[in-house]
Amino acid sequence: MSDPILAGRLVLVCDDERRIVQFVRLNFERAGARVIEAYDGDACLDLVRRNLPDLVVLDVNMPGLGGFETLRQLRTFAEVPVIMLTVQADEADRIRGLDLGADDYVGKPFSPAELLSRARAVLRRTHTPRDARVVHIDDDLQIDFGAREVVVRGERLKLRPTEWRLLYHLVANAGWVLTHEMILRKVWGPEYVGQDNYVRLYVTYLRQKIEPDLSVPRYILTERGVGYRFADFEGKGNLPELDKA
């Protein structure tokens, strides 16, 4: 049965285990997606350059060019969403992948329902808002929602899809506290509730890009034990609407 979010999407699956690739391919195709295959990191990078897929499903442990190095090189030329596959449950490995630009992790063994759910959640976070515009926070910070960029003291910085969506919801609710659960539901989806480490990690990423002093945040404020609040600012109304697909 075709899935409204996955149907028509081009998914690149990269894993040195052919049975895993075929398993993933079958389930994405059942959801209506188109799938291309790679069995090593070099082939993955070549296919991303030539096809620019909507999503990459990338194994961590591959001979030759491993998943982490493949991801590092991929992020030098493409912002395509990436889900990492791993048999390792080590949080340090998950953080390493997220630091390199992965959008999510799925641990092996995994069910088709879990992988497709994660894929839908990642793709929901990559839509560009309708009627995008630049939002002026103050003289040091402007947000270009159309380009998914922030202008920090005159310098344009690109945002990853998840960073952009997180910033959108924080800014849209400026002056109000968003709990960890609220942020997880809005940015990642209800299936992520309870995984507060995602919120903390991506708040750190955003702060590193927009805050003038990480030790005393000006924009993204911590409400200890509750969540986060974006500092109130004039002219916050009428933000562009996010696609709800």
Same domain, yes or no: 115 and 46: yes
Quote the pLDDT of residue 132.
Answer: 52
Please, which residues bridge with residue 179 across strands? 227
Pair (101, 24) in one structural domain: yes
* Final residue of a structural domain among 124, 156, 191: 124
Is there a single domain that holds both residue 120 and residue 15? yes
pLDDT score, position 46: 95
Tell me how many domains the chain contains.
2
| Residue 86 sits in the same domain as residue 139 | no
CATH number, domain at 103?
A: 3.40.50.2300
Question: Is residue 138, in this structure, part of any structural domain at all?
Answer: yes
Q: Same domain for 159 and 217?
A: yes
Average pLDDT over residues 45-60: 93
Q: Which two structure tokens, joined as six digits, stand for 124?
A: 């929901």
Residue 93 lies in a domain: yes
Of 35, 36, 99, the residue nearest 68 (C-alpha) = 99
pLDDT value of position 99: 86
Residue 195 lies inside a defined structural domain of this protein:
yes
| pLDDT for res 95 | 82
Range of the domain at 22: 10-124
Per-residue pLDDT tens for 125-167?
A: 765 554 456 788 998 999 887 777 899 998 999 888 888 889 9
**Between 234 and 122, residue with greater pLDDT:** 122
Sheet with 104-107: list strands edge to edge: 34-38, 10-14, 55-59, 82-86, 104-107
Given 73, 91, 124, the domain boundary residue is: 124
Query: pTM higher than 0.75 for the full model?
Result: no
pLDDT of 245 above 60: no
Does any domain span residue 144? yes
Is the Cβ–Cβ distance between 185 and 202 less than 8 Å?
no
| pLDDT for residue 195 | 87
Specify the pLDDT at position 183: 93
Q: What is the pLDDT of residues 198-212, one digit of tens each?
A: 999 999 999 999 999
User: Per-residue pLDDT for 243 more than 50?
Assistant: no
- Other CB atoms closer than 10 Å to residue 206's CB: what's the count? 23
Per-residue pLDDT of 167-204, as tens digits, reads 988 998 899 999 999 999 888 888 888 889 999 999 99
Q: What is the dihedral of CA 159, 230, 146, 71, to 10 degrees?
A: 20
Domain boundary among 83, 102, 124: 124
What does the mean pLDDT of the chain come to?
Answer: 87
CATH number at residue 151: 1.10.10.10
pLDDT tier for residue 237 given thresholds of 50, 70 and 90: low
**Burial annotation 135-166 (CB, 10 A radius, 16+ → b, else e):** bebeeebbbbbeebbbbbeeeeeebbbbbbbb
**Do 113 and 199 fall into the same domain?**
no
* Segment 76-129, tens digit of pLDDT: 888 889 999 987 656 777 788 888 889 898 988 889 999 999 999 888 876 555
